[in-house]
Amino acid sequence: MSQAYNFVPHTEENLRAMLSALSVESLEGLYWKVVDHRFAGTFSGFDSLSELEMEREFSRILSGNKVLPGLVGGGFYRHFVPKALNELAGRAEFYAAYTPYQPEASQGTLQALYEYQSMMARLTAMEVANASVYDGGSAVFEAIMMSLRITNRKAVVVDELLNPIYLRMLNSYLSGLDVELLLMPREQILESLDGRVSAVVLQMPDFLGNVFDLSEFADGVHEVGGLLVQIFYPISLGILRPPGEMGVDIAVGEGQSLGLGLNFGGPYLGIMATRREFVRKMPGRIVGRTKDRNGRDCYVLTLQAREQHIRREKATSNVCSNESLCAIKSLVYLSLMGGSGLRKVARVCHLKAKALRSFVEALGLEVVTGDYFNEFAVRIPDLDGFYSRALERGFIPGLRLERFNPEWKDYLLVALTETVEEDLIKRWQDSLRSHIRS
Amino acid sequence: MAGLVEKPHTELIFCIPESRPRDYLPDVGEDSVEIPPALLRKDLPIPDHDELTVVRHFTGLSQENFSVDGNFYPLGSCTMKYNPKLNEALVRDVRLTDLHPHLISEGQARFCQGALQILWELERILCDLTGMERFTFQPMAGANGELCGVKIIRAYHEARGQRRSYLLVPDSAHGTNPASATLGGYRIVNLPTTEKGYLELKTLKEHLSEDCAGLMLTSPNTLGLFNPEIDAIASAVHEVGGLLYYDGANFNALMGNVKVSDLGFDIVHLNLHKSFSTPHGSGGPGAGPVGVVKDLVEFLPVPLVERGPDGFYLNWDLPNSIGKIAPFLGNFLVVVKAYIYLRLLGLEGIRYASQVAVLNANYLRQRLKDLIDVPYSGWCMHEFVASAAQLKKEKGITALDIAKALIDRGVHPPTVYFPLIVKEALMIEPTETETKFTLDYLVEAIRDIIDTPAEALKSAPHRTRISRPDEVRAVKEMDLAYLE
């Protein structure tokens, strides 16, 4: 079965020459010289496929996936991706390279990551960013750990309206650590602050789509010597006031919307930006600009004394592999769209949401979201009935929220992006109208 | 190189004069926004460029990189094998890239049967290869898998009413091991490597107690050595009630030949971006699925993928689960690439790949040991560590000099100065995807370097656009973002 030897290039002749250089008879003989044969495993096995068969098999498997159009967001959005993006990020010089520990052999990656850091700092109006962590959720965890290192405190106040997925991740990540997580409604946060609080964590827009000013929270938490962490939605920053202009100390976000796709949950991109004074407490790789021996500008991984490969158990984080290629993709996305393109995307998202929101309000339905960007929650009587009839008509009408919180019975979270077609909106409206009448 | 004109792409994207960008979207009219003025953004300092300018900029940057496609990359412990093009091509399918993850939250398994089938089948393959009972695909990298594993260790002991306080880690381990264990709430006890090059049973026993939560180990270890006492080590840890964690960084040496369950391990993470050919992406995304033996399945993150009479579904019913490590099911597209790779090779191919990885490393080691000192005699597995300590003493040539001079010869340097227990270390892992011709070329390149006067090496590399960056200056100036 020669197809099983895919990607091993040795001819019989070369194999024999190499084995004889080692004075061993056979490949198996060599292997079991190195490892005691009593460790030889028994496997049930699985067959190999040729490339031709694999393509067919894969196509059969993917026919089991049905991508329905819909208005599902909830922190993860379908946005337009310029075709040039995947061609550029799909260059093997980027995807088949290792972490840029050897600067002379990696200036492409290093400059791109320096540009990414700069781009994220500009997007968030913060001063510095790292070269990425895994995803938005792990970025929230890392931001909390970072605040603990900066303040030497142990309590963290978290808004209830964070994405529930992040709340579940935080519970898992923080268990076993000496951290007190205080989950509360946003209205109670300011009065709860005292000298034990390391950070206040807010998401804006929050899980229900509310947009609000963070400045008063910044003032409040700074007064007691704590930090403000904001979870942001990158696309919204094409129109919304950025974290850095509202007193935020650590801004984190899920970068999936910046040209990465939905990918059934990953790979995604954890964006992390902060103030310059805190950079030594930040986790993750960081690229810096310097000069080479001939005085040329160049880029290197820097401040590595924070990291696990140097500090081991005393490192700021255990993170090693990050999401470099996703970071580069988001940089390419923002470079292709430009500031004017990002503004337009944000504006289109908002205006589509505005139109649909006034439609549901005109039907007399309760919209529970206040000021909004591109997403709002609406209460629809007998939501499950509406939902299943929509599925029958071939679209997913939004995200049902009861699964996340029993108090949110009949809440549908609806997200609009530039990819939502007018035809879908019309079908959505027709379905809702006939649902309300029945 | 003085007098060379800088290539324009080395200009930062922010410094290239702006041009008219493409407009990728249809117009939306002049309707006014419904956002309070205090929440509106005024300044958005992101430049506009035409598409060709952007394409040229990033194409130019890419050309400044070494990659597996362009260069031999014998980077120890990183398994820089060829990343099959088929993987990249197949995962661009919109049935994957447009598949919404909230189908998982909504329990709408019927719309993602294909995705769940891939996960279910890959889980069976990984269980076969490792001997574990179940796997989770949530961990998004190796270190994330370690943290997940450490949390499972903790949950296991707590379920038994025990609060054990420390984890054992050999001094040759990757830095992520102690860092992950600390983040999981444990104290670290470092175990010294003896002159044999691996952790010995007698050393281990000195540090075992009823307060020990477990041992984190990679096999073969970072010196490329297979520990012949591994089963006795596992028994000793189990005797005090501890668990054995397998760091899969070096699984390329074992796959299809040795089952880690047979070695006594209870928890395993695999680096799909090492053993199973998914690309390293300039530093990520990776994937670090975690497998466990039967007694630990109840602690795995939720949900698990199951198969029932009506197809594949998601199982959230694990009351003792450690919860969620990833927002959904991990770096899914990376996992899909590993699935494609494993289906292409089959068990026979994967076993063969591993054996050839061992052959290639031993062949290189055999040929290099006349040129450069290779401590820890005997056979290696998929990698080995050479030391320039002797060369430094005799000729003034350091591991760094060799590394930089290799760049001029078109080879990405090996991992240098790691593991920390070998002086002037050069850690070499050729992988199974390289030809004999390429391996022989590396030998000749190193011979050529060693024959070069040390002074001529100190300024290497000479053929790259930049050479020997001032890293001290980088730390001092902290120029981390261009904001002007």
Write the residue in A51, A303, A335 that is nearest to B86 by C-beta. A51
Q: Is A52 on the interface with B (CB under 8 A)?
A: no
A106 contacts chain B (CB < 8 A): yes
Count of other CB atoms within 10 angstroms of residue B225: 23
Pair of tokens at residue A230? 């904001």
Which two tokens mark A225? 């010597």
Residues of A in contact with B376 (CB under 8 A): none
- Contact list, B108 vs chain A (CB under 8 Å): 396
Q: How far is A309 from chain B (nearest CA, A)?
A: 4
Residue A64: name the closest of B103, B326, B337 by CA.
B103
Contact B342 A46 (CB under 8 A): yes
3 state SS of A347: helix
Q: At what angle do helices B113-130 and B332-368 cross, to 10 degrees?
A: 30
Contact B49 A335 (CB under 8 A): yes
The residue in chain A having the minimum alpha-carbon distance to the alpha carbon of residue B164 is A176
Q: How far apart are CA A425 and CA A429, in angstroms?
A: 6
Q: Residue A181: phi, psi to the nearest 5?
A: -100, 115
The residues, any chain, with a CB within 8 Å of residue A135's CB and separated by 6 or more, are A254, A256, A266, A268, A269, A270, A323, B140, B326, B327
Distance (Å) from the alpha carbon of A192 to chain B's nearest alpha carbon = 25
Main-chain dihedrals φ then ψ at residue B40, nearest 5 degrees: -90, 145
For residues A336-354, average pLDDT: 98
Per-residue pLDDT reduced to its tens digit, A127-163: 999 999 999 999 999 999 999 999 999 999 999 999 9
Chain B contact for A375 (CB, 8 A cutoff) = no
CB contact A34 to B (< 8 Å)? yes
Q: What angle do CA A411, A412, A418 make, to 5 degrees?
A: 150
Would you give the distance in Å from CA B99 to the centre of its chain?
26
Dist CA A69 CA A235 (whole Å): 20
CATH level 3 topology of A83-334: Aspartate Aminotransferase; domain 2 (3.40.640)
CB contact under 8 A, A5 and B340: no
In chain B, which stretches have pLDDT less than 70?
A: 1-9
- Closest CA relative to residue A435, chosen from A378, A384, A376, A395: A384
Q: Can the peptide bond before residue A205 be classed as cis, meaning omega within 30 degrees of 0?
A: yes
- List the one residue out of A189, A190, A128, A179 whose CA is nearest residue A151: A179
**Chain B residues inside the 8 Å CB shell of A41:** 131, 256-259, 262
Contacts of B412 in chain A (CB under 8 A): 98, 102, 105
User: Which of A14, A100, A104 has the CB atom closest to B407's CB atom?
Assistant: A104
Residue from the list A8, A312, A339 with its beta carbon closest to the beta carbon of B433: A8
Contacts of A19 in chain B (CB under 8 A): 359
∠ CA B259-B260-B261, nearest 5°, is 90
Contact A318 B183 (CB under 8 A): yes
**Alpha-carbon gap: A210 to the closest alpha carbon of chain B (Å):** 11
Q: What is each CA distance from A28 to A25, A242, B353, in whole angstroms?
A: 9, 61, 12
Closest CB to B480 among A17, A128, A145: A128
CATH topology of domain B87-345: Aspartate Aminotransferase; domain 2 (3.40.640)
Q: What is the predicted pLDDT for the residue at B6?
A: 60
Which residues in chain B are closer than 8 Å to A289, comparing Cβ atoms? 474, 477, 479-480, 482
Q: Which chain A residues are within 8 Å of B13, Cβ to Cβ?
A: 115, 119, 331, 335
Q: Which residues of A touch B402 (CB under 8 A)?
A: none
| Boundaries of every domain in chain A | 2-62, 83-334, 338-437
Residues in CB range of B307: below 8 A, 6 or more apart: B120, B313
Alpha-carbon gap: A429 to the closest alpha carbon of chain B (Å): 19
B301 Cα to chain A: minimum distance (Å): 9
Residue with tokens 């598949």: B99
Domain extent listing, chain B: 1-64, 87-345, 355-471
Q: Do B331 and A267 touch (CB under 8 A)?
A: yes
CATH superfamily to which B355-471 belongs: Aspartate Aminotransferase, domain 1 (3.90.1150.10)
Closest approach of B291 to chain A, Cα-based (Å): 16
Q: Is the pLDDT of residue A252 over 60?
A: yes
The reply to whether A246 touches chain B by the CB within 8 Å rule is no
> A40: distance to nearest CA of chain B, Å?
5
CA-nearest of B412, B432, B452 to B364 is B432
Q: Do B459 and A3 touch (CB under 8 A)?
A: no
pLDDT for B420 equals 84
Q: Residues of B with CB below 8 A from A323's CB? A: 140, 281, 284-285
Residues 6+ apart with CB under 8 A from A24: A30, A33
Chain A residue with CA closest to B32: the answer is: A351
List of chain A residues whose C-beta atoms are within 8 Å of the C-beta of residue B84: 6-7
Q: Do B468 and A104 touch (CB under 8 A)?
A: yes
Among A99, A296, A355, whose Cβ lies nearest the Cβ of B466?
Answer: A296
Q: What is the pLDDT of residue B376?
A: 86
CA–CA gap between residue B351 and residue B274 (Å, rounded): 15
Mean pLDDT along residues A322-333: 97
Q: Judge: B407–A105 Cβ closer than 8 Å, yes or no.
A: yes
pLDDT digits (tens, 9 = 90+) for A65-86: 999 999 999 999 999 999 999 9
Compute the C-alpha angle B86/B92/B93, nearest 5°.
Answer: 105
Closest in B14, B107, B258 to A39, CB measured: B258
Sign (positive/negative) of CA torsion A335, A341, A347, A349?
A: negative
Superfamily of domain A338-437 in CATH is: Aspartate Aminotransferase, domain 1 (3.90.1150.10)
